[in-house]
Amino acid sequence: PFPHKLYDLMAKTDSRDVISWSADGTEFVVHDHARFASILLPIYFGHNQMRSFDRQLNYWEFERTNTNKISNKSFGGKSWKHPFFQKDRRDLLKEIVRKK
Protein backbone atom coordinates (compact mmCIF):
# COMPACT_ATOMS: atom_id res chain seq x y z
CA PRO A 1 0.00 0.00 0.00
CA PHE A 2 0.88 3.65 -0.43
CA PRO A 3 2.18 4.26 3.14
CA HIS A 4 4.64 1.36 2.82
CA LYS A 5 5.93 2.64 -0.52
CA LEU A 6 6.35 6.11 0.94
CA TYR A 7 8.17 4.70 3.97
CA ASP A 8 10.49 2.71 1.69
CA LEU A 9 11.22 5.86 -0.29
CA MET A 10 12.06 7.73 2.92
CA ALA A 11 14.27 4.89 4.17
CA LYS A 12 16.19 4.30 0.94
CA THR A 13 16.61 7.65 -0.77
CA ASP A 14 19.89 9.52 -0.71
CA SER A 15 18.12 12.64 -1.99
CA ARG A 16 17.79 14.46 1.34
CA ASP A 17 17.80 17.79 -0.50
CA VAL A 18 14.63 16.61 -2.29
CA ILE A 19 12.76 14.81 0.52
CA SER A 20 13.61 14.23 4.18
CA TRP A 21 12.24 13.63 7.64
CA SER A 22 11.74 16.58 9.97
CA ALA A 23 14.26 16.87 12.80
CA ASP A 24 11.94 15.07 15.23
CA GLY A 25 10.99 12.35 12.72
CA THR A 26 7.24 12.96 12.92
CA GLU A 27 6.83 14.69 9.55
CA PHE A 28 8.29 14.41 6.11
CA VAL A 29 9.21 17.34 3.91
CA VAL A 30 9.35 17.50 0.12
CA HIS A 31 11.88 20.28 -0.44
CA ASP A 32 11.85 20.28 -4.25
CA HIS A 33 8.61 19.20 -5.93
CA ALA A 34 10.00 19.29 -9.47
CA ARG A 35 12.89 16.95 -8.71
CA PHE A 36 10.70 14.76 -6.48
CA ALA A 37 8.15 14.33 -9.29
CA SER A 38 10.69 13.74 -12.05
CA ILE A 39 13.17 11.52 -10.17
CA LEU A 40 11.59 9.74 -7.19
CA LEU A 41 7.88 9.40 -8.00
CA PRO A 42 8.51 7.27 -11.12
CA ILE A 43 10.78 4.91 -9.19
CA TYR A 44 8.50 4.35 -6.19
CA PHE A 45 5.00 5.06 -7.52
CA GLY A 46 5.21 4.51 -11.28
CA HIS A 47 4.17 8.05 -12.27
CA ASN A 48 5.46 11.63 -12.10
CA GLN A 49 2.27 13.43 -11.06
CA MET A 50 2.41 15.49 -7.86
CA ARG A 51 -1.38 15.86 -7.98
CA SER A 52 -1.77 12.08 -7.77
CA PHE A 53 0.75 11.90 -4.92
CA ASP A 54 -1.13 14.65 -3.04
CA ARG A 55 -4.42 12.81 -3.61
CA GLN A 56 -2.95 9.61 -2.14
CA LEU A 57 -1.74 11.51 0.91
CA ASN A 58 -5.27 12.80 1.36
CA TYR A 59 -6.84 9.33 0.92
CA TRP A 60 -4.52 7.94 3.58
CA GLU A 61 -5.29 10.90 5.89
CA PHE A 62 -1.90 12.58 5.96
CA GLU A 63 -2.15 16.18 7.10
CA ARG A 64 -0.36 19.18 5.59
CA THR A 65 1.73 20.91 8.22
CA ASN A 66 3.40 24.24 8.85
CA THR A 67 5.91 25.10 6.15
CA ASN A 68 8.45 26.74 8.49
CA LYS A 69 10.49 23.49 8.49
CA ILE A 70 11.15 23.73 4.77
CA SER A 71 14.64 24.70 3.75
CA ASN A 72 13.90 26.08 0.30
CA LYS A 73 10.33 27.24 -0.26
CA SER A 74 11.18 28.57 -3.72
CA PHE A 75 11.11 24.99 -5.06
CA GLY A 76 7.56 24.36 -3.81
CA GLY A 77 8.37 22.66 -0.53
CA LYS A 78 5.57 21.11 1.52
CA SER A 79 5.42 19.01 4.65
CA TRP A 80 2.98 16.36 5.89
CA LYS A 81 2.41 14.21 8.94
CA HIS A 82 0.36 11.25 10.08
CA PRO A 83 0.34 10.00 13.69
CA PHE A 84 1.40 6.54 12.50
CA PHE A 85 4.03 7.62 9.97
CA GLN A 86 7.23 8.20 11.92
CA LYS A 87 10.92 7.77 11.31
CA ASP A 88 12.25 4.40 12.55
CA ARG A 89 8.70 3.18 13.36
CA ARG A 90 7.78 0.90 10.46
CA ASP A 91 5.72 -1.11 12.95
CA LEU A 92 3.14 1.71 13.06
CA LEU A 93 2.34 1.56 9.33
CA LYS A 94 -0.27 -1.16 9.84
CA GLU A 95 -2.36 1.40 11.75
CA ILE A 96 -2.68 3.71 8.73
CA VAL A 97 -6.06 3.13 7.08
CA ARG A 98 -7.33 4.57 3.81
CA LYS A 99 -10.44 6.76 3.96
CA LYS A 100 -13.62 5.17 2.68
* Domain containing residue 30: 2-95
Q: Is 48 inside any structural domain?
A: yes
- Is the residue at 100 inside a domain? no
- Return the pLDDT at 69: 54
* Residue 15, number of CB atoms within 10 A of its CB: 15
pLDDT at 88: 97
Report field, pTM of the whole predicted structure over 0.95? no
How far lies 95's CA from each of 22, 25, 60, 65, in Å?
A: 21, 17, 11, 20
Q: Write the CATH number for 53.
A: 1.10.10.10
Is 13 part of a structural domain of the chain? yes
Counting the structural domains of the chain, the total is 1
Whether residue 49 contacts residue 41, with contact meaning beta carbons closer than 8 Å, is answered with yes
Q: Are 54 and 41 in contact (CB under 8 A)?
A: no
Q: Is residue 80 part of a domain?
A: yes
Q: What is the mean pLDDT of the chain?
A: 90
For residue 10, is it within any domain? yes
